[in-house]
């Protein structure tokens, strides 16, 4: 019989039996709500053909639900104290592979191997949400979709538009190859222990039509340009780019003009497509 990990009393008993206290430092807020668990899994639209990468299985709550629908689940967990609990909660799910590593340093390309269009589903540890999402999106893996449970303010940054105060590197990373959809808001009471802030389930989905404006340079150069564009928010785009790129100010100004971008504009004024255009243009001038 499967452990009912959405029942607070089951979670508390399990933690007590294994002499465990949820670690604040590792962002351990376990999901204990059946309704929101079902919404996360439904958003991923899983089938037996899918490989799912999960970050932070914790006690195995979301992992069990993913394993009941996907063909394979690879779950990356940093906290080895959870091993005895996961051995029990995942005993019936042989298609789950546990990887005891730091999700910030794992090689995602190697992990997914030949899998076409793998998916990511995770209730993310809040203290590394942004670097982790950036790492997943910059890993050059053709993710079909990524479903994240994150703090509400991170979700706002993920879907922000140009000229909005929340728009920045995270927004561009999320919107560069994916459409961003808010699936549902999640109250703090859905977790044990309850966090101090509200959360949101966000889905990033690759559009069937691909990117409207194609990148003509290598992806690492694009990210270098985007990082430079947002690197110095109070400076003009031309100044930020010349501070962060191996190009002269003149090369940058000519490149911006060729793309119809005002050198006096700021990084946060540019759409993702305009940033792609600037990266393409400046890539030719290196």
Residues in contact with ligand SAM by the rule CB under 6 A: 26-31, 55-58, 61-62, 76-79, 102-104, 123, 125, 128
Structure tokens at 12: 């508390």
**What minimum distance in Å lies between the beta carbon of 143 and ligand SAM?**
18
- Closer to ligand SAM by CB, 201 or 278: give it: 201
**What minimum distance in Å lies between the beta carbon of 57 and ligand SAM?**
5
Q: Is 69 exposed, middle or buried, given 0-12, 13-18 or 19+ CB atoms closer than 10 A? A: middle
- Closer to ligand SAM by CB, 126 or 230: give it: 126
- Closer to ligand SAM by CB, 4 or 249: give it: 4
**What minimum distance in Å lies between the beta carbon of 284 and ligand SAM?**
38
**What minimum distance in Å lies between the beta carbon of 41 and ligand SAM?**
11
- Are the CB atoms for 188 and 200 separated by under 8 Å? no
**What minimum distance in Å lies between the beta carbon of 47 and ligand SAM?**
21
Structure tokens at 208: 């069937």
- Closer to ligand SAM by CB, 28 or 159: give it: 28
The Cα 33–Cα 5 span in angstroms is 9
- Closer to ligand SAM by CB, 16 or 213: give it: 16
**What minimum distance in Å lies between the beta carbon of 179 and ligand SAM?**
24
For 230, phi then psi, to 5°, come to -100, 0
- Closer to ligand SAM by CB, 55 or 204: give it: 55
- Closer to ligand SAM by CB, 112 or 229: give it: 112
**What minimum distance in Å lies between the beta carbon of 111 and ligand SAM?**
12
State the residue number with the nearest CB to ligand SAM: 56
């Amino acid at each position: 019989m499967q452990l009912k990990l959405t029942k607070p009393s089951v979670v508390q008993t399990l933690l007590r039996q294994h002499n465990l206290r949820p670690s604040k430092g590792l962002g351990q807020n376990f999901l204990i709500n059946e309704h929101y668990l079902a919404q996360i899994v439904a958003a991923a639209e899983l089938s037996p053909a899918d490989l799912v990468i999960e970050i932070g299985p914790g006690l195995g709550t979301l992992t069990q639900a993913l394993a009941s629908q996907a063909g394979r689940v690879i779950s990356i967990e940093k906290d080895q104290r959870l091993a005895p609990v996961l051995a029990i909660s995942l005993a019936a799910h042989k298609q789950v592979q546990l990887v005891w590593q730091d999700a910030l340093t794992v090689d995602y390309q190697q992990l997914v191997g030949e899998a076409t269009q793998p998916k990511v589903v995770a209730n993310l540890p809040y203290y590394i949400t942004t670097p982790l999402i950036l790492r997943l999106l910059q890993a050059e893996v053709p993710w079909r979709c990524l479903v994240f449970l994150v703090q509400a303010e991170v979700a706002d940054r993920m879907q922000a538009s140009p000229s909005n105060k929340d728009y920045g590197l995270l927004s561009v990373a999320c919107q560069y190859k994916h459409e961003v959809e808010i699936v549902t808001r999640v109250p703090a009471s859905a977790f044990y222990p309850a966090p101090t802030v509200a959360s949101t389930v966000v889905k990033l989905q690759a559009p069937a039509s691909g990117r409207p404006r194609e990148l003509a340079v290598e992806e690492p150069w694009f990210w270098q340009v985007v990082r430079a564009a947002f690197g110095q928010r109070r400076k003009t785009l031309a100044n930020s780019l010349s501070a962060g790129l191996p190009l002269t100010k003149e090369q940058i100004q000519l490149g911006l003009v060729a793309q119809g971008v005002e050198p006096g504009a700021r990084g946060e004024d540019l759409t993702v497509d305009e940033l792609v255009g600037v990266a393409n243009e400046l890539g030719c001038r290196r």
